[in-house]
């Protein structure tokens, strides 16, 4: 069994981004800029945003965070996004999800300029991704694809089961795999017999948010298991969706939690923001 080390791969990506940022600054006087909008007081969301701020600083990006109160109106959020759309120092805009219930997430995401949509959540980018055109791709699935690339894991013709079908994790993940010529099965909460699918899979990718959902009897020998799930247990520890201890010995490759997909998500956010800054630079 080989562990897929997301932490060190993320560091490697960030070092290469730092070098590119330096070049961009020196040669074209461009500093990649990321704007983050966070609403309310959810501690997990604030922790993610602070990790993103730190990562921006580390690679030499300019970043601003709009911390808005829970009671902010939808129109007020839209105003901030429009301001960021028009701000030439900002190349990426990210709205931290989930938003409070009185805000319509789909409406908010559609206001972001697709050229600054570094989270890849705008329908424009999703449509382009599905048709295999250049686009901003959702950071978590993109991070998983980067792991496959780094570990020379060939996806062509592989039977891959994606567990979880959300717009930001499971669906884009499945599309990227399909574009890489894998045979993809998408499963979700209404799937009748989950293990029927996972048992046959060469690769299982799970992003659900349920500790120990994937157990050793659900995985075939030699399979590759990618755990996107992040769950905080009562004792404060962080676990994924996979019963790591018992599943790992059966796998050829597996990602740990923490230190697997999580750090890759941040690296891909930086990578998408750099890509956007370069694209804006070409149009100056």
Q: Which is nearer to ligand NAD, 24 or 226 (CB)?
A: 226
217 is catalytic: no
166-202 CB burial, b ≥16 within 10 A, e <16: eebbbbbbbbbbbbbebebbbbeeebeebeebbeebb
Q: Which residues bind ligand NAD (CB under 6 A)?
A: 140, 163-166, 168-170, 187-189, 191, 194, 207-210, 213, 228-231, 261-262, 265
Which residue, 24 or 137, is less far from ligand NAD as judged by CB? Answer: 137
To the nearest whole angstrom, how small is the minimum distance from the Cβ of residue 199 to ligand NAD? 14
Rg (CA), the chain: 19
Q: Could you say which of 14, 116, 117, 119 is catalytic?
A: 119
Q: Tell which residue, 17, 66, 3, 12, has the closest CA to residue 37.
A: 66
Between 40 and 209, name the residue whose CB sits nearer to ligand NAD: 209
Q: Is residue 240 a contact partner of residue 231, using CB atoms and an 8 Å limit?
A: yes
- Give the count of beta carbons closer than 10 Å to the beta carbon of residue 70: 12
Least separation in angstroms between residue 164's CB and ligand NAD is 4
Check if 119 is active-site.
yes
| Least separation in angstroms between CB 221 and ligand NAD | 22
**106 is a catalytic site residue:** no
Shortest distance, position 141 Cβ to ligand NAD, whole Å: 9
User: What are the backbone dihedrals phi and psi of residue 184, each rounded to the nearest 5 degrees, phi first?
Assistant: -110, 130
Catalytic residues: 52, 96, 119
């Amino acid at each position: 069994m080989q562990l897929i080390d997301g932490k060190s791969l993320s560091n490697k990506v960030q070092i290469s981004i730092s070098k590119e940022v330096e070049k961009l600054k020196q040669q074209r006087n461009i500093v990649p800029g990321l704007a983050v909008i966070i609403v309310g007081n959810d501690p997990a969301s604030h922790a993610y945003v602070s990790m993103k701020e730190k990562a921006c600083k580390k690679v030499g990006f300019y970043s601003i965070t709009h911390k808005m109160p829970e009671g902010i109106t939808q129109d007020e959020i839209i105003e901030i996004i429009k301001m960021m759309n028009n701000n030439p120092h900002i190349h990426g805009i990210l709205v931290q999800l989930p938003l409070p219930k009185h805000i319509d997430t789909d409406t908010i995401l559609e206001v972001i300029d697709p050229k600054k949509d570094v989270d890849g959540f705008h329908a424009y980018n999703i449509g382009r991704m599905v048709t295999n055109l250049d686009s901003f791709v959702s950071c978590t699935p993109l991070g998983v694809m980067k792991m496959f690339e780094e570990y020379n894991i060939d996806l062509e013709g592989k039977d891959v089961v994606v567990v979880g079908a959300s717009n930001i994790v499971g669906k884009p993940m499945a599309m990227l795999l399909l574009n890489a010529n894998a045979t993809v099965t998408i499963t979700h909460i209404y799937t009748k017999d989950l293990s029927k699918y996972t048992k046959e899979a060469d690769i299982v990718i799970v992003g659900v948010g349920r500790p120990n959902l994937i157990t050793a009897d659900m995985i075939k020998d030699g399979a590759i298991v990618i755990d996107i799930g992040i769950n905080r247990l009562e004792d404060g520890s962080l676990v994924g969706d996979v019963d790591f201890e018992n599943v790992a010995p059966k796998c050829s490759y597996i990602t740990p939690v923490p230190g697997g997909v999580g750090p890759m998500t941040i690296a891909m956010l930086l990578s998408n923001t750099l890509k956007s800054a370069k694209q804006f630079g070409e149009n100056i």
